[in-house]
Amino acid sequence: MIGSAWLHLASFAVMLVAIRAVRRWTWLYALSVLPGTLAHEAMHWLAGWLFGARPVSLSILPRRMPDGELLLGRVLFMRLRWWNAVPVALAPFLLIPLSAGLLWHSAGWLALAWPSLGLKLLAVQCLLATWPSGRDWWHALAGAAVAGALTLAGLYLYNRLGFALR
């Protein structure tokens, strides 16, 4: 059984490395990570809906940006504010447990059986899609900075009004 677990992990790792190796061929990479891009953007959309950011569009069509970078997908929001920016921006991290669950579930078959390989491929897609983009990090840090500043201001006022923390 232990040998089987190693074979499952090895096939998962091979898929992970293979998809990362395709990165030099931009459009092939964009096509190979399309399911992960959909999962990533869907997490933003779902978090935006849950936290009141009012998502208005979701696109997973890759396009070249003016700076030459490839934009794999995007979600536009009507009411993205400092208080909902952090959970919306970091929502793709929720794909990590999904990836682990898919990998765990793939162990129900032989390591190289088609259903097992399919589940592992989905797990790889979810894992690769977890990391937020630069724009996502910017929104998360800006929201966290405002929340931190408001918290510090609130604590300062709380102490200045005679309600010292003990």
Per-residue pLDDT tens digits of the chain, which is 166 residues long:
456 888 888 999 999 999 989 988 988 998 899 999 999 999 999 999 999 999 999 999 988 889 888 889 999 999 999 889 999 999 999 999 999 999 999 988 888 889 999 999 999 999 999 998 888 999 999 999 999 999 999 888 888 887 655 5
Tokens in use for 95? 């794909």
Q: Is residue 23 domain-resident?
A: yes
Query: Rounded to whole angstroms, how far apart are CA atoms 81 and 86?
Result: 9
Whether the Cβ atoms of residue 72 and residue 60 lie closer than 8 Å to each other: yes
Name the domain count of the chain. 1
Query: Rounded to whole angstroms, how far apart are CA atoms 2 and 104?
Result: 14
pLDDT given at position 99 = 95
Q: Is residue 146 domain-resident?
A: yes
Q: Is residue 43 domain-resident?
A: yes
Q: Is residue 166 domain-resident?
A: no
Q: Is residue 29 domain-resident?
A: yes
pLDDT given at position 160 = 82
pLDDT given at position 1 = 46
- The pTM assigned to this predicted structure is 0.85
Angle 44-46-48 (CA atoms, 0-180°, nearest 5)? Answer: 65
**For helices 34-50 and 95-106, angle between their N-to-C axes, nearest 10 degrees:** 130
Task: Give me the domain span that covers residue 101.
Answer: 2-160
Q: Is residue 156 domain-resident?
A: yes
Q: Is residue 36 domain-resident?
A: yes
